[in-house]
Structure 1
Amino acid sequence: MSVPPKPETPPANDAPEGVLTRRTPWWRNWKVMLPLWLGIAVLVGLGLHFNVDRGVIAGSVVAIGLISNAFAWLLGVIALVPVIGPVIVKVLSIGFIWLLNAVGYLVSYIAIRRGYSKDVLTYRGLTVAIIIGIVIGFVLGKLI
């Protein structure tokens, strides 16, 4: 009984024979993600130039970003900046700020529908000021 010959395949990444190499997943490869982000930027620019509805543009960017893990890659790139990069990533990923902002938008929508648009502007400005204060305090607390 004879053993069939092994097919000859070249080693990946010019590694010596017998050495296992691990390929980077496509969502971590900068050669994929950088053109993806450039494409998103170009499409957003074209959409704004041709007066496409901003909700459609935002929804498309969120859908593409979530499907392709582009947001995670961008946060990883930001985290590479020494000292301030990891702090920025931590601030952007604080769930409390995201939750506060989401509740603010929901309340704004309801208040505007009931005719309180001037009050909404006042409290949204106050909310943005509070969020900026929290972020500045968090950054200063991490740096000091």
Structure 2
Amino acid sequence: MGDFEIHYNKVRDGNREKLRQIVEGAGLRQIFDRPTRITSLSVNTIDLVITNMYGLTLVDTEFPQLTNHSFVGTRLDSDSRKSDRVVTFRDLHSDNLRRINRELVGMTWNNNCTDLEILYEDFKSNIMKVVNEVSPEERKVIPNNRKE
């Protein structure tokens, strides 16, 4: 949860798209869908709640607005999970991390390009390729043992 200063409600915002890719790539989600910063000139969602918890719900608040940011509240509903949950993870023990480090250190990087977007995409693509080779994503089903 935090003030990311990224306009998450603006679809054409490049920073929003990068943050969205990071959030989704990490198996997370942003659950706050209301404007959190309201001024006379703009209405934006910049205070975000990013989570991997499915029982986390937003709380309607009636706190007075003291600044141009709205109060953001959440509540964990422990009874909300009715079905099994699939968790995605990677085996990143120290041997795998050392191997990833060796692979990245030995990699040839594109140093001639001055376009930051291309450099970022190349950097991200190369890192993800190495991480996927060394430690592919694994999935585990966590059963819901709650009696209905």
User: TM-score range with shorter-chain normalisation?
Assistant: under 0.3
Select the structure that is richer in strand.
2
Structure with greater proportional helix content:
1
Larger radius of gyration, structure 1 or 2?
A: 1
Higher relative contact order (CA 8 A, sep 6+): 2
TM-score (norm 1): 0.25
